Copies of this chain bind each other. A is one copy, B any other.
Amino acid sequence: MLIKTPHLFDEATAITAGDSRWQGRTSPDYWAFVGPFGGATAATILRALIDHPQRAGDPLSLTVNYCAPVAEGVFDLDVRLVKANRSSQHWCVEMTQGGGDVATLATAVFAERRPSWSHQQAAFPGATPFEQTLPYPKRAMSWVKQYDFRFIEGEPKFGSASNSAPKNAYSKMWIADRVPRKIDALSLMSMSDAFFGRIFHARRELVPFGTVSLTTYFHADAADLAAEDTTRLLAVADARIFHKSYGDQNGKLWSPSGRLLATTTQIAYFKA
């Protein structure tokens, strides 16, 4: 079931189907500080679920707990359908390497989404068009190179501002795959971890940082995403608190047409 495609993202998040155990391999193209980009890991887990023969419906929520660093190389995904209902499924996925401790622990809910009363209360923030927004030029890490970030507000500026007043952690940006790729649940999942650490914004400096737990809710199913037919998102991210070595992040991912496709939150470790 390993499908070769020309897009790096699909190669980076490819998995080989097993019975309940699936296999993947970290990608040097989506590498972060000390391991694979967490968004690629989350997307790989989601791909294993979407490709699973027992899967029914569309992703509704995915929580990924990053338990330990993932080393370069192959990993196993232990995929378990914990409970299947008439129109929803609950899954649990454990990532291990070489039969060792669990490196990543995830739970997911899938649902067959039925038509209902619909109301988008959150207001689309709007932005200068993608084409008229300057690409973010600094791309030291390999995973950052795979995305085209165009900041409208809150472009990261790293100076020596650590002893001045905290800066606003809010950012608004366009996100697209550097090589255009149609937005699907996999890229939504990955992009929901593609914000820079809020602590970098608040402190205007890079500090040791790592996402501990990430939760993304999908507000669009496959048909909705197909209808949007877009390769880019307008994304906003903010933080509420940094305290005793942990800080939060919350984000919204919008289609260019103004539809809220996903919301995401995470808690992250920092050293500062």
Chain A residues close to B by CB (< 8 Å): 60-61, 63, 65, 67-68, 82-83, 85, 88, 90, 92, 94, 101-103, 105, 107, 109, 111, 113-122, 166, 168-169, 202-203, 212-213, 215, 217, 219-221, 224, 238-246, 248, 250, 252, 260, 263, 265, 267, 269-272
Contact B88 A244 (CB under 8 A): no
Measured between alpha carbons, how far is A263 from B246 in the docked complex, in Å? 13
A115 cross-chain contacts in B, Cβ below 8 A: 244-245
Rounded to whole angstroms, the CA-CA distance of A256 and B203 in the bound complex is 28
Question: Which residues of the partner chain B approach A215 to less than 8 Å between Cβ atoms?
Answer: 63, 213, 215, 265
**Interfacial chain B residues near A246, Cβ < 8 Å:** 60, 111, 113, 219
Min CB–CB distance A52 → chain B (angstroms): 17
Report whether B242 and A117 are in contact in the complex, using a CB–CB cutoff of 8 Å.
yes
Which of A61, A63, A101, A202 gathers the greatest number of chain B CB atoms within 10 Å? A61
Of B82, B116, B121, B243, which contacts A245 at CB under 8 A? B116
Q: Tell me if A83 and B60 are in contact (CB < 8 A).
A: no
Q: Chain B nearest CB: distance from A192 CB in Å?
A: 13
Which 8 residue pairs of A and B lie closest in terms of their CB atoms, listed nearest first?
A113-B244, A122-B240, A67-B83, A117-B272, A67-B90, A116-B245, A119-B166, A63-B63
Query: Within 8 Å CB of A252, what residues of B?
Result: 240
Residues on B with beta carbons closer than 8 Å to the beta carbon of A101: 83
Contacting pair B240 A120 (CB below 8 A): yes
Hey, which chain B residues are within 8 Å of A242, CB to CB?
Answer: 116-121
- Verify B270–A116 contact, CB threshold 8 A: yes
Chain B nearest Cβ from A203, distance in angstroms: 7
Q: Are B102 and A82 in contact (CB under 8 A)?
A: yes
Task: Give CA–CA (A217, B266) in the complex, Å.
Answer: 9
- Measured in the bound complex, the distance between the Cα atoms of B269 and A118 in whole Å is 13
Residue of B nearest to A116 (CB): B245
Q: Is there contact, CB below 8 Å, between A250 and B250?
A: yes
Residues of B near A109 (CB, < 8 A) are 65, 212-213, 267
Partner of A219, one of B90, B166, B238, B248: B248
Q: Which residues of B contact A122 (CB under 8 A)?
A: 240-241
A-B contact pairs, 21 of them (CB 8 A): A60-B267, A61-B267, A63-B213, A65-B107, A68-B85, A83-B101, A83-B103, A88-B212, A92-B105, A109-B213, A111-B212, A113-B243, A116-B271, A117-B203, A117-B242, A122-B241, A224-B243, A241-B260, A250-B263, A263-B265, A265-B265
